[in-house]
A and B are shown apart, each in its own frame.
Chain A
Amino acid sequence: MILEARAVSKRFGGVSALDRVSLGVREGEVLGIMGPNGSGKTTLFNVLTGLLRPSAGEVLIDGRSARGQPPHRIARMGIARTFQNLRLFPGMTTTENVLCGAHGREDVSVLGNLLPRPGRAASAAAERRRAEDLLREVGLGDRIDVYASALSYGQTKRLELARALNMQPRVLLLDEPTAGMNDAQAAVLLGLVRRLQRARGLTLVVIEHNVPALIWLADRIAVLDSGEVLVDTTPDAAASDPRVIEAYLGRDAVPA
């Protein structure tokens, strides 16, 4: 397991958002996560990336405990994510936003950046080219150097994807990458996600409400319900599991 939650619980006051969740993803695998609203999916991502400390249990990266590791260290260990409600820097351009993903491999000491250093201009130019290539790869080739605040909603989702990819992550966590899109847009975006995953051999964890799309994309599907892992199985088995149908498909599964 490259990234794993082991018996993770997370309580917010009286609310139990995660209840002894054990779930892992293997290198190169696509793990799909579904579950009704409020079932703890985003909380799981927050715990996996160190933004929240689990109330019990622990997160393992490459089999080693990440207990007490701050989020920036976990990010530098190769765990990247996108956010359900987008967290772009609207005052920066698209290219600058993507460059933010390069932070972990850059020299960020004050003195180091004040003193002259040979090769700095060349490596900055290389980072810039890499960022522009990524923008083209996610279909924003015509939006290079445009302010992020000027993008359409669908474009901002792609920009956040490019920024996360620029971290050159080993595991990429996508929290509802198609939220707020119509079916056609969602299909195109998930197609892009799948192409990127195949091309890079990425390990991917995707939270997604669109069940057919998730079955198409994922190698394995876990269903969360009220903070518990209800099912952790193959896509086909998940689709026909009566508990899934009751807990998830039976309700208003696909939000507008």
Chain B
Amino acid sequence: MRGALLFLLAVGAVAAVPHAVSSRYWLHVANLSLIYVPLAIGANVITGYCGMVSMGQAAFFGIGAYTSALLTMRLGVPWPVAFVAAGLMAGAAGAVLALPCLRVRSDFLSLITIAFNQLFLVVANAWLSLTRGPMGLPQVPRMEILGWTVRTEGQIFTVVATVAILCAWATTRLAASPVGRSWEMIRDDEVAARALGVNVVRGKLAAFAVGCTLAGLAGSLLAHSLRLVVPDAFLLDESLLIMQMAILGGLASVPGSVLGAFLMVGLPEALRSSDPWLLTYRPGIFGALLVAAMIWRPQGLLGARRAAPPFLRGASDALRRTLRLSPRHSTP
């Protein structure tokens, strides 16, 4: 019932906003924020629901962007097909990267994702015949759905908002399913999860692949709405930003990730002309906010009760001890 109501509300908003908001600028800000919604949700699946860390989400974002742009430009693939392919490609890349790490020790994964992000940038900059290197891919075709070409910011809004809503819906549904429960079991106590029949490697792999798939889908949206794909859009800073969105917005909370995307992409973008420092110093500002959150609210703004994974609880308690505050989580 509540779900149906939310759904109607969302459809109404998607239909109404492009008419109600006449400013191209504000629509652009909204669109950019909405493109980051699947990214933040994806990072949240990995960290908030399953307790892993990925510092390389920008690489999967980039894989989606290049896949979608190249498929449409070189092979003339229709955009909806390229969009799905972008998600699958990023998801598959994530799975291939994660499997060997998870087999050994899952803490390796966070280190490997950093390395993977850098490797992705090297390839994107160096493989000139495919990516045109630092010059990037210009004039990426517009999104086109069954003959309807997406031209204006208002039309882009309709598409990116629809995708964001679908991603939010799918993740909410997964989180409430036995899969989501097994992710939380893994996050909270791997030993107990194993003893209860959970295949921990498989569960983590699934969460990581889902998170990367969402990043890939966002990449396709970015490529075809900005109509330009350059390697510099996928720097390690971007990965940190995505991670911060998921954590600050709220761990294991889909609305939290939506909030995180609007707060950390939309707000600095909106204030770009009046307060450009917010955009310039964004990594520092949100880094500081993250430290503050670690001390007072490690699960993030809208985070679910006790959703902070063990590594964040540890960080939180260490910070609190340093400040002579009583630790919140630690058990002897």
User: Are A92 and B197 neighbours in the complex by a CB distance under 8 Å?
Assistant: no
User: Are B191 and A51 neighbours in the complex by a CB distance under 8 Å?
Assistant: yes
Return the contact of B195 from the options A81, A96, A99, A114 (Cβ within 8 A). A81
User: Are B181 and A110 neighbours in the complex by a CB distance under 8 Å?
Assistant: no
Query: Does A194 have its Cβ within 8 Å of any Cβ on chain B?
Result: no
Please report whether the interface of chain B is mostly helix, strand, loop or mixed according to DSSP. helix
Chain A residues whose CB sits within 8 angstroms of the CB of B232 once the complex forms: none
Q: How many A-B residue pairs have CB under 8 A?
A: 87
Query: How close is A112's CB to chain B, nearest CB, in angstroms?
Result: 8
Considering residues B182, B199, B200, B307, which has the most beta carbons from chain A within 10 angstroms of its beta carbon?
B199
Binary per-residue interface labels of chain B (204-215) against chain A in the complex, 1 for a CB within 8 Å, 0 otherwise: 001001100000
Chain A residues whose CB sits within 8 angstroms of the CB of B182 once the complex forms: 103, 108
User: Are A75 and B196 neighbours in the complex by a CB distance under 8 Å?
Assistant: yes
Query: Does A104 have its Cβ within 8 Å of any Cβ on chain B?
Result: yes
Binary per-residue interface labels of chain A (199-223) against chain B in the complex, 1 for a CB within 8 Å, 0 otherwise: 0000000000000000000000000
A99 to B179, CA, bound (A): 12
Residue of B nearest to A104 (CB): B197
In the complex with contacts A100-B185, A108-B179, A114-B170, A89-B192 CB distance below 8 A: yes
Query: Does A106 have its Cβ within 8 Å of any Cβ on chain B?
Result: yes
Q: Which interface class (under 10, 10 to 19, 20 to 34, 35 or more) fits A?
A: 35 or more
Return the contact of B185 from the options A81, A89, A107, A147 (Cβ within 8 A). A89
A16 to B209, CA, bound (A): 41
Query: Does B322 have its Cβ within 8 Å of any Cβ on chain A?
Result: no
Chain A residues whose CB sits within 8 angstroms of the CB of B24 once the complex forms: none
In the complex with contacts A96-B181, A167-B197, A113-B191 CB distance below 8 A: no
A167 to B185, CA, bound (A): 15
Q: Which interface class (under 10, 10 to 19, 20 to 34, 35 or more) fits B?
A: 20 to 34
Interface positions, chain A 77-117, Cβ under 8 Å from B, are 80-81, 83, 87-92, 96, 99-104, 106-110, 113-114
Chain B residues whose CB sits within 8 angstroms of the CB of A39 once the complex forms: none
User: Are B199 and A70 neighbours in the complex by a CB distance under 8 Å?
Assistant: yes
In the complex with contacts A108-B179, A108-B182, A87-B199 CB distance below 8 A: no
Return the contact of A70 from the options B194, B203, B210 (Cβ within 8 A). B194
Query: Does A198 have its Cβ within 8 Å of any Cβ on chain B?
Result: no
Binary per-residue interface labels of chain B (153-197) against chain A in the complex, 1 for a CB within 8 Å, 0 otherwise: 000000000000000001001100111011011001101101111
Query: Does B198 have its Cβ within 8 Å of any Cβ on chain A?
Result: yes
Query: How close is A221's CB to chain B, nearest CB, in angstroms?
Result: 25
A256 to B31, CA, bound (A): 63
Query: Does A143 have its Cβ within 8 Å of any Cβ on chain B?
Result: no
Residue of B nearest to A147 (CB): B305
A106 to B188, CA, bound (A): 20
Chain B residues whose CB sits within 8 angstroms of the CB of A170 once the complex forms: none
A110 to B181, CA, bound (A): 12
Query: Does B306 have its Cβ within 8 Å of any Cβ on chain A?
Result: yes
A38 to B304, CA, bound (A): 39
What are some 26 contacts across the A-B interface (CB < 8 A)? A71-B195, A72-B197, A72-B200, A75-B194, A75-B195, A75-B197, A83-B192, A89-B185, A89-B188, A89-B192, A91-B188, A91-B304, A91-B307, A92-B188, A103-B185, A104-B196, A107-B178, A108-B178, A108-B182, A110-B174, A110-B206, A113-B178, A113-B179, A114-B173, A167-B196, A167-B197
Query: Which of B's residues lie within 8 Å of A, judged by CB?
Result: 170, 173-174, 177-179, 181-182, 184-185, 188-189, 191-192, 194-200, 203, 206, 209-210, 304-307
